[in-house]
Structures are given as C-alpha cells and as structure tokens.
C-alpha cells in the first residue's frame, strides 16, 4: 500500500494537478478499507488506525494539494 503512494508521489513534480488528484483518488478507492481499518491496543484498550502513518500521509496530501502543485 505505501509503495503505491510513493510511486504517485515520485511523479508529483512532473504531472498536472488534475492527473495527480485523479491518481490519488484511485489510490484511495483501492485502499480505503485498509486506511479506515482500526485496531485495539490490547494493553491500553484504545482504538486507533491500523496504519496511522499512511492515513496521516494521505490526509496531508489531500489537505495541502493546492499548495504542493
């Protein structure tokens, strides 16, 4: 999953905003269930995202999309 996101990021400087956004949307649809998956920490009983760093990276891209183009 993160590998695909890295491939999209490598093309950031050589692609248009429209193409980048399209690829990001396709990536999200492909991995949406994995991104939204949550796990319970057996020690603390707290619920958190199973892949918090990938969720954070995706949200950062989404939030700052217009600034990075």
Note if the pTM is more than 0.85: no
Q: Do the beta carbons of residue 17 and residue 65 sit within 8 Å?
A: yes
Q: Which of 63, 55, 65, 62 is nearest to 31 (CA)?
A: 55
Region 14-34 average pLDDT: 92
**Domain residue ranges of the chain, discontinuous segments joined by +:** 2-68
Tell me what pLDDT residue 69 has: 59
Tell me what pLDDT residue 66 has: 82
Q: pLDDT, tens digit, for every residue of 28-53? A: 999 999 999 999 999 999 999 999 99
Tell me what pLDDT residue 68 has: 73
Band of residue 2 on the pLDDT scale cut at 50, 70, 90: low
């Amino acid at each position: 999953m993160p590998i695909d996101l890295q491939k999209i990021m490598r093309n950031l400087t050589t692609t248009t905003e429209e193409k980048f956004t399209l690829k990001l949307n396709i990536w999200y649809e492909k991995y949406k269930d994995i991104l939204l998956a949550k796990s319970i920490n057996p020690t603390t009983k707290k619920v958190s995202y199973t892949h918090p760093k990938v969720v954070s990276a995706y949200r950062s891209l989404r939030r700052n999309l217009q600034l990075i183009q």
